[in-house]
């Protein structure tokens, strides 16, 4: 056997023996339900399909299935065609992109917004482009993989602080201030809402520390924008701050796909000139930008979606057995801590047998011994759906 093939097979076998093997499942989605037709690695037939209530979607506001948003995308296709045809600096930057960027900047309170095809790409562009050798990057230990990978691969020195621990951040900033020069760029990066725990960063205290130590603050608010704050402006608005740099993504509450970096005028122009992820990537389709403008309007105007999420969260907390370790959050992300990876997978499969789709999240996505069921609520769920979920969790919890 070729050494390369042996390496691949050994890695796959190790992942399987550790209970960490991941499999894709082909799903047909209808509102807050999914129709599972089997693993893509195995043959499946229609009579094996199972309909489940979906509690694993990041479509928090339920916009992805909204007729108004679907119509907006169809209208965009009629106006602009299917694709942008080029990168933004060639011929890919079109009126729909310009309007969306201005709309985002006005809504979220920044000079400029710059569109990217994914949140992963936006985060990587941000850190790779802005940080140079000798600069200092300080990250929360639970930041998204896109931020961690970019930090490790950038020329800057990266340090991490314990999750949401402002004392640890203060000590790290004070220590590093003593060993850096006046020319050193310092940047603290955090998520606004953490995707696996559903908790919010202490943004007000973090901004105060950054100001005291002349450090930039960048916030990835992928899971907060649309859900929190006045008119859905996000976790920073809720905390009463405006960070130097804000990243928002469109694959969660916006119901679509893509991302934007919000910042001042000079920084936006710097990214246009030097960010390879922006310069050498095809621009998002203008039809999508047109639909995203509609999503922005719906987020700002349809307050009932956020109010319903709060109501559903209260119902879940009341209906679950007190023995179930539900993490209390102010967001639609409601983790149930399990600990053992294999037990989390077993519970997820038993819930699926009961018509409930909840994903088991295991290492390396989360720390060892902190595997969980990651429940996400959407505005399309009804109170009866939540009670059905809670009853099923109570059953499988006590069956273990």
Tell which wins on pLDDT, 50 or 104: 104
349 is catalytic: no
Taking residues 92-101, what's their average pLDDT?
97
At 179 the pLDDT is 60
pLDDT greater than 90 at residue 177: no
Find the catalytic residue in 186, 252, 334, 381.
Answer: 252
- Could you give the CA distance from residue 63 to residue 66 in angstroms, rounded to a whole number? 5
Pairing of strands 136-140, 186-191: parallel
Residue 364: cis peptide before it, omega within 30 degrees of 0:
yes
Find the catalytic residue in 140, 220, 221, 237.
Answer: 220
Q: Are 376 and 332 in contact (CB under 8 A)?
A: yes
Find the catalytic residue in 97, 186, 213, 223.
Answer: 223
Q: What's the pLDDT tens digit per position in 281-300? A: 999 999 999 999 999 999 99
308 is catalytic: no
At 47 the pLDDT is 46
At 22 the pLDDT is 81
pLDDT greater than 60 at residue 345: yes
State the angle between helix axes of 383-399 and 341-353 in degrees (0 to 180), rounded to the nearest 10.
130
Q: Specify the residue for token string 């930008």.
A: 289
Taking residues 48-69, what's their average pLDDT?
91
Longest dimension (CA), the chain: 67
Mean pLDDT lowest for which of 80-84, 178-182, 224-228?
A: 178-182
At 51 the pLDDT is 87
Taking residues 331-346, what's their average pLDDT?
93
Find the catalytic residue in 56, 123, 144, 244.
Answer: 144
pLDDT greater than 90 at residue 36: no
Taking residues 351-380, what's their average pLDDT?
92
CA dihedral sign of residues 166, 168, 171, 174: negative
At 44 the pLDDT is 44
At 45 the pLDDT is 46
87 is catalytic: no
- Could you give the CA distance from residue 298 to residue 313 in angstroms, rounded to a whole number? 22
Find the catalytic residue in 31, 44, 58, 297.
Answer: 58
Mean pLDDT score across all residues of the chain? 93
Tell me how far the alpha carbon of residue 158 is from its chain's centroid. 22
54 is catalytic: no
191 is catalytic: yes
Q: How many CA atoms, within 13 angstroms, populate the side-chain half-sphere of residue 183? A: 3
CA dihedral sign of residues 187, 259, 362, 236: positive
Find the catalytic residue in 195, 235, 359, 370.
Answer: 195
195 is catalytic: yes
pLDDT greater than 80 at residue 29: no
Q: Which two tokens stand for residue 300?
A: 């700002």
At 180 the pLDDT is 64
pLDDT greater than 90 at residue 328: yes
- Could you give the CA distance from residue 320 to residue 314 in angstroms, rounded to a whole number? 10
Find the catalytic residue in 59, 101, 191, 221.
Answer: 191
123 is catalytic: no
């Amino acid at each position: 056997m070729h050494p390369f093939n042996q390496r691949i097979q050994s890695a796959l076998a190790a992942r399987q023996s550790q209970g960490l093997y991941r499999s894709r499942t082909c799903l047909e989605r209808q509102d807050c339900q999914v129709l599972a037709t089997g693993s893509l690695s195995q043959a499946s037939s229609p009579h094996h399909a199972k309909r489940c209530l979906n509690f694993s979607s990041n479509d928090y506001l339920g916009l992805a299935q909204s007729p108004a948003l679907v119509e907006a995308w169809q209208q965009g296709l009629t106006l602009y065609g299917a694709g942008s045809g080029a990168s933004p600096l060639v011929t890919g930057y079109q009126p729909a992109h310009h309007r969306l960027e201005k709309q985002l900047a006005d809504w979220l309170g920044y000079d400029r917004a710059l569109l990217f095809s994914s949140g992963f790409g936006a985060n990587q562009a941000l850190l790779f482009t802005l940080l140079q050798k000798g600069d200092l990057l300080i990250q929360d230990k639970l930041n998204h993989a896109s931020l961690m990978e970019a930090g490790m691969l950038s020329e800057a020195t990266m340090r991490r602080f314990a999750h949401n621990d402002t004392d640890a951040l203060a000590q790290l900033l004070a220590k590093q201030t003593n060993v850096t020069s006046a020319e050193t760029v310092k940047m603290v990066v955090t998520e606004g809402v953490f995707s696996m725990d559903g908790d919010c960063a202490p943004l007000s205290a973090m901004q105060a520390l950054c100001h005291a130590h002349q450090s930039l603050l960048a916030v990835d608010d992928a899971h907060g924008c649309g859900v929190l704050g006045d008119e859905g402006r996000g976790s920073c608005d809720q905390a009463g701050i405006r960070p130097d740099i804000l990243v928002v993504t469109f694959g969660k509450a916006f119901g679509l796909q893509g991302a934007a970096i919000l910042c001042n005028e000079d920084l936006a122009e710097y990214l246009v000139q030097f960010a390879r992820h922006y310069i050498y990537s095809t621009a998002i389709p203008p039809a999508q930008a047109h639909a995203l403008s509609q999503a922005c309007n719906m987020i700002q105007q349809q307050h009932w979606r956020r109010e319903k999420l709060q109501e559903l969260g209260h119902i879940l907390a009341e209906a679950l057995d007190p023995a179930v370790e539900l993490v209390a959050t102010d967001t639609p992300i409601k983790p149930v801590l399990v600990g053992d990876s294999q037990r989390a997978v077993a519970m997820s499969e038993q819930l699926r047998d009961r018509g409930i789709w909840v994903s088991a999240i295991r290492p390396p996505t989360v720390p060892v011994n902190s595997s969980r069921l990651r429940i996400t609520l959407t505005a399309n769920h009804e109170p009866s759906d939540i009670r059905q979920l809670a009853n099923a969790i109570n059953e499988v919890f006590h069956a273990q």
